[in-house]
Structure 1
Amino acid sequence: MQAPDLKWICPHCWRRVPRPLMSCISHRSRWGLVNEDTARESYLMAMQDLHADLNVAASGLIINPELPWIGASPDGVVTCACHEPGVLEIKCPFIAKDRTLNECVKDSRFCLTVTEEGVMSLKLDHSYMYQVQAQMRVAELAYCDFVVWTPQELFIQRIPFDDLFFDEAYLKVVNFIRTGILPELLGKWSTVPRLSATATSEKTPVGCYCGKPVDNADNILSCTSEQCR
């Protein structure tokens, strides 16, 4: 499970497992893929005068042994001679293709907002905030340069790691996996057809997720938790 999924998981429970989110690349995703390299070069040009020996290295999937349930794939790892390393996350929103960022922030679906002080920033409750916080924790880096690229503008925000934000979200991820994904993988908890309460005798022992009667209960190790079916 990778970082962008954290925002979706947190308000959900195992009873609402979704269908596959995408079966093909949408035109919005294609727009982002086509323009990502251009956005990265724009970022380097904008930041090179502010940092010594600035470099962005490509990054694949990062796995942290301390966090076995999630992985992260940032758009790069930022290094320079004047600061510690960080991750780079690039967004090329299709909604901003023909609009300015000031116009886009008026749309409640957009990732950026303008504070009371007039500062544009990433929304704290947006899925991208969950994404970059997870990337920083998995990669064990202190900041993320969050970039929003449009054909007309470039937005850059350096976001520090927030351990309280991540810890709260990760607890919900672990709970989702333990109560939703693992029972489904091991015993088809949500999808297997179940026998009705009247289909078997009350005296017939049942010790499996499937709800079918057990021939020899002595060979079954059952859970005594009230949360089990």
Structure 2
Amino acid sequence: MGLPEEDMPLPKPAGTRKTMSSASRNAKQTCVTATSPPSQYKVLKVKASPRNGKPLSETTPRSPTEGKAGGANARPGKSICPISASETYNLKSFQNTPTNYRDKPSSSLGSDDERKAPAIKHQPGSAPTTRRRPGIPSRSQIVLESQLSLEDIEKVEKDTRGQSGNPEWFKLRQNRITASLAHQISHSRFANNKTMEIPQSYLKAVLGTGPRVQTTAMNWGIKNERNAVHAYEKLVSLKTGKQVQVEECGLYIHPKKNWLAASPDGVVRDVLTGDMLYILEVKCPHKHKDHTIREACDDRQFCLRPDGNSYQLRIDHPYYTQVQCQLAVTNMQHADFVVYTNKDLAVVPVTFNAELWKETEPKLEKFYYEAVLPKLNGRGKDIRELEVAGVWAAEE
């Protein structure tokens, strides 16, 4: 989770409105609900293997583990479907790990001075193609889209583990569109060719020039993520009959589109084989911390909705787009979406929606090439400096 930026109060530019694609309307996730733990339920001790390092629930951000998506032990593109049911359990027996597994961000990472960014106007038009973009030479485009080698990408992921507790994570996210912003940007009027005005709050979030804010809700999420991961490991191990462990991860960069990145809350591995099964995204909603999942669903803004005796992740919710972006960046097919409260733990499987992503990615690309790159170029860099800044912003 790192800094739970999805809970960060990001002001919406005037005129921004949600749009739902046809892919979103047709997407559906199926799941079945269990309302109470079986009587034979017992705590399963997840042991770390030398090959895979420690489980995420037992690590600190400064102690990275071995193995990651795209790493030596990973098998890109190979993943099994996670639990087919959304499981909901009473968490009294799970609340035995009060210590945070991630440190609070250092005070040295406090708010940056907010830079003034005047509105930039562009003539609205269709999203740029992947072959050619106005004002950017073809050679420059090749560098921007494929500059980083797989070894570089693996090193970035390893060096940024700990996420919000690691200064490198903040540096390497700058000038990249991350999964937590994917929904807001792709649904903006600018990305959908309905205005010439670039949403400045989103631009500042990508450039890293906006203030860093830590709210009560964000602190709650950081504090309780370890408890959620610990409970998840035991639940999945019980339901699947195989021991799994959640390993922490850092920032993943898209191998072909280096301007796109994501930070899942962890990767789930089979302890016996070391295979990467799927990625994990955890939400600990402070607003519903003392509610059951079913009670939280009465809130129209809640991320889940009931479907008979099961739950679905709402396809019009920002979290759905966030998970889809994470899957696209990591080249995985499945994710487990976990919602944790003081009373419940819900696990909802999410599958990669290729149709939705086909509609979403060009909108993110338009924003990057028409909003972010011109802003970087306006900082006084020539085209060679711009090529590096577009992907290696941390080295400025």
Q: Normalised by the shorter chain, which TM-score bucket?
A: 0.7 to 0.9
After TM superposition, the score normalised by the length of structure 1 is 0.76
AA of the residue aligned to 2:346: F
Query: Which segments of 5 or more consecutive residues in structure 2 lack a partner in the other structure?
Result: 1-176, 191-196, 380-396
Whichever residue aligns with residue 233 of structure 2, its letter is L
**Cα–Cα, structure 1 residues 121 and 140, in superposed 2: closer, same or farther, change >3 Å?**
same
Q: Could you tell me how far 1:22 is from its partner in structure 2?
A: 5.3
Aligned-residue offset at 1:186: 1.6
Q: CA deviation at 1:124?
A: 0.3
Which secondary structure does the structure 2 equivalent of 1:77 belong to?
A: strand
Aligned to 1:90: 282
Q: Identify the match of residue 16 of structure 1 among 191, 199, 214.
A: 199
Aligned 8 A contact 2:253 2:259 in 1: no
Are positions 1:103 and 2:286 aligned together? Answer: no
- Pairwise CA distance, 1:39: 0.3
Please tell me whether residue 159 in structure 1 is matched to residue 333 in structure 2. no
Match of 1:141 in 2: 332
Identity, % of aligned pairs? 30
Which residue does 2:95 correspond to in 1?
none
Aligned-partner Cα distance in 2 for 1:67–1:85: 24
Q: Does 1:58 align with 2:234?
A: no
Where does structure 1 lack aligned partners over 5 or more consecutive residues?
189-229
Indicate the SS of the match to 1:135.
helix
Aligned equivalents of 2:345, 2:316: Cα separation in 1? 22
Please report how far the alpha carbon of residue 95 of structure 1 lies from its aligned counterpart in structure 2 after TM superposition: 1.3
Shift of 1:27: 0.4
SS of match in other structure, 1:184: helix
- TM superposition outliers: structure 1 runs of 4+ over 6 Å: none
Instruction: Please state if 1:77 is matched with 2:253.
Output: no
1:48 maps to: 237
The structure with the largest alpha-carbon Rg is: 1
Displacement, 1:84?
5.8
Q: Which has the higher contact order (CA 8 A, sep 6+)?
A: 2
Counterpart in the other structure of 2:183: 7
Worse-superposed segment, 32-41 or 14-23: 14-23
8 A contact 1:85–1:142 mirrored in 2: no
Distance 2:369 2:254 in 1: 19
Cα shift at 1:170: 1.0
Residue 151 of structure 2: aligned partner: none
Cα deviations by residue, 1:110-169 (Å, 9 ceiling, x for unpaired) = 111123x44311100111111111111111111001000111100001111111111211
What is the CA–CA distance in structure 2 between the aligned matches of 1:123 and 1:51, rounded to whole Å? 29
What is the distance in 1 between the residues matched to 2:251 and 2:338?
19
Counterpart for residue 150 of structure 2: none
Match of 1:122? Answer: 313
Residue-pair matches, total? 187
- The aligned counterpart of 1:187 is 378
Say what the alpha-carbon RMSD is for the aligned residues. 1.9
Q: Which amino acid aligns with 1:6?
A: A
